[in-house]
């Protein structure tokens, strides 16, 4: 098997991965970026509404970084590590200025300053934007920047199989070129997991098909923990029936949610913030309206933009207008857009500190949605995700560069372990009987949506765990019908399913263990937040078929928990 050596490897070519790679490279180290897709097709490009930032000369005069930190902490239902939230706020203005200098053309106010809009849970408006295509604009600017660095090599359309470890030290990753299906052992002293989210675990998700939780599961199999894996965010406004995201920017610009009686129903659930309450509250409110018979036939509510005017909608919310027209046949200037909640984001992730470093495995780092720095806690505020990718992508890249200064040792020969990783992957092409992977995938996605979704309880979670374990057992003999060795997408889909099954059991077991409701984790049998017993992070390991769970305290600096009222 071919072997390639680098100082560091970044798995994932989205905003977090590219920013980490940039920081490692400008410090003089050689970096490989391994991505399932071409970097500008990463899921970061789908982030629409904007990037949160406090900019002193361009913010409400009453606003300050502490208010931004507080909003993030309250929005996360006090499961946020407060030093992480403070760092996010302090770095936010600087990051926006950097991205602007690298070519991101933010919308402007009439006086020339960067434009700003409200997003859910914000005391003052802080969301900077490029229409409703902000992620795409940021990603293209950053990719252009890193493409000019000659010590970064890109391996696009490569699939990472598993991490390679030497005792407690990560020494590389085995990846496979998707075109030729040839495996390569990439050796490195440090690896950054920047593999994004896991939306394909759910039957309804706004995520791209590439978001299958690969990084989480590779880390679990290598022996690293996930932090707070039970916390899954559901976005309130996915287009019905396609589940394409209708950005929170629409509500930030003044769109309102209505039921089949024409009522602005958020007045019942969040009388102060209304439609701009945090996403967990709005999603549960929509589901309640539908369950109590006030939704529209098919199970959705309306997002009404009509009062904003045709010109304004087409200028400021072009993507939302185009999506509704193309995929639901709805002209948003004339009728409400049909929307319902769908899985959107994962607050859980690989357990890392504020620098992106994992403590279980030497040389393992993570950034972006793949990581849990604990900056989002139990619920992420809109427009904080783009900010997190860049702020903590940069922090992680700098931490890797510092790590490489003092870690120069080489690893032992690990040919047997590398060969086993490849053999385990190829077994799906050799099996001729059992269950087709597609059948298992469909069952898994429905189980997660029905049993580990917006509303949870003990009976449904136990049933989910039982079903997931059955599916994990079935997957041992699953097969693919395509046996070709060139761009065999069915084969790679089976590998993704293996990752999804590993992650699913950790999510379900962690959700069962947390006997309270907090943020996006809502237990109908434990409907109240319980700070006395559950103000702590879940730390979950996967040991074979067993999920082992411990807990650790939330880092508090200034703000004590208080009732979360909007």
> Which active-site residues does the annotation give?
279
**CA torsion angle for 504, 506, 507, 511 (degrees, to 10)?**
140
* Among 379, 376, 372, 375, CA closest to 538: 372
Q: Which helix (H) or strand (E) holds 421?
A: helix 415-430
HSE-up of residue 192 (Cα within 13 Å, Cβ side): 42
Going by their DSSP bridges, the two strands 546-553 and 536-543 should be labelled as antiparallel
Cβ count within 10 A of residue 409: 9
233-272 b/e with 16+ CB inside 10 Å = b? bbbbbbbbeebbbbbbbbbbbbbbbbbeeeeebbeebbee
Q: 314 vs 237, 250, 254, 319, 419, CA distance in Å? A: 18, 11, 14, 8, 54
Q: 392 vs 29, 99, 357, CA distance in Å? A: 19, 14, 11
* Among 447, 473, 442, 475, CA closest to 461: 447
In DSSP notation, 344-374 reads EEE--EEE--TTSB-SSSBTEEE-GGGEE-S
Is the alpha carbon torsion for 329, 332, 335, 337 positive or negative? positive
**Token representation of residue 398:** 């700098």
C-alpha to C-alpha distance for 552 and 288, rounded to whole angstroms: 33
Q: Which residues partner with 364 through β-bridges?
A: 191
C-alpha to C-alpha distance for 234 and 71, rounded to whole angstroms: 19
What's the helix, strand, coil split of the chain in %, to 5?
40, 20, 40
């Amino acid at each position: 098997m071919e072997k390639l050596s680098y100082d560091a490897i970044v798995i994932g070519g989205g905003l977090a991965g590219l920013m980490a790679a940039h920081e490692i490279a400008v410090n003089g180290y050689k970096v490989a970026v391994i991505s399932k897709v071409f970097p500008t097709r990463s899921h970061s490009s789908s982030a629409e509404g904007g990037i949160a930032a406090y900019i002193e000369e361009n913010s409400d005069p009453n606003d300050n970084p502490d208010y931004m930190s507080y909003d993030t902490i309250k929005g996360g239902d006090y499961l946020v590590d407060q030093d992480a939230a403070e760092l996010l706020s302090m770095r936010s203005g600087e990051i926006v200025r950097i991205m602007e200098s690298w070519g991101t053309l933010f919308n402007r106010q009439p006086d020339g300053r960067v434009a700003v809009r409200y997003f859910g849970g914000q005391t003052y408006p802080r969301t900077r934007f490029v229409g409703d295509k902000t992620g795409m604009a940021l990603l293209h600017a950053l990719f252009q920047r890193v493409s000019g660095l000659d010590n970064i090599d890109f391996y696009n359309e490569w699939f990472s199989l598993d991490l390679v470890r030497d005792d407690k030290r990560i020494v590389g990753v085995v990846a496979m070129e998707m075109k030729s299906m040839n495996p390569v052992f990439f050796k490195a002293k440090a690896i950054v997991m920047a593999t994004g989210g896991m939306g394909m675990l759910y039957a309804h998700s706004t995520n791209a098909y590439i978001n299958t939780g690969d990084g989480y599961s590779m880390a679990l199999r290598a022996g690293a923990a996930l932090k707070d894996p039970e916390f899954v965010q559901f976005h309130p406004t996915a287009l019905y029936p396609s589940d394409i995201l209708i950005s929170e920017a629409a509500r930030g610009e003044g769109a309102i949610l209505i039921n089949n009686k024409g009522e602005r129903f958020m007045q019942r659930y969040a009388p102060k913030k209304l439609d701009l309450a945090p996403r967990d509250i709005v999603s549960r409110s929509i589901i309640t309206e539908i369950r109590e018979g006030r939704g529209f036939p098919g199970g959705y509510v309306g997002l009404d933009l009509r009062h904003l005017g045709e010109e304004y909608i087409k200028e400021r919310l072009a993507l939302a207008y185009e999506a509704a027209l193309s995929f639901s046949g709805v002209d948003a200037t004339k009728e409400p857009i049909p929307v319902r909640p769908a899985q959107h984001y994962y607050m859980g992730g690989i357990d890392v500190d504020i620098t992106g470093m994992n403590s279980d495995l030497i040389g393992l780092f993570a950034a972006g949605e793949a990581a849990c720095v604990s900056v989002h806690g139990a619920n992420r505020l809109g427009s904080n995700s783009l900010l997190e990718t860049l702020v903590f992508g940069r922090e992680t890249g700098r931490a890797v560069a510092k790590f490489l200064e003092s870690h120069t040792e080489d690893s032992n020969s690990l040919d047997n372990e590398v060969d086993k990783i490849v053999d385990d992957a190829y077994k799906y092409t050799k099996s001729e009987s059992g269950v087709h992977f597609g059948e298992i995938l469909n069952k898994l996605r429905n189980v997660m949506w029905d049993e580990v979704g917006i509303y949870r309880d003990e009976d449904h979670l136990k049933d989910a765990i039982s079903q997931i374990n059955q599916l994990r057992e079935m997957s041992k003999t699953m097969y693919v019908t395509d046996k070709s060795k060139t761009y065999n997408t069915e084969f790679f889909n089976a590998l993704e399913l293996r990752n999804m099954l590993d992650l699913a059991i950790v999510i379900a077991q962690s959700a069962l263990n947390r006997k309270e409701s907090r943020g996006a984790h809502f237990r109908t049998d434990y409907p109240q937040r319980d700070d006395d017993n559950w103000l702590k992070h879940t730390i979950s390991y996967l040991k074979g078929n067993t999920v082992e769970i411990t807990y650790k305290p939330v880092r508090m600096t200034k703000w004590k928990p208080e009732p979360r009222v909007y």
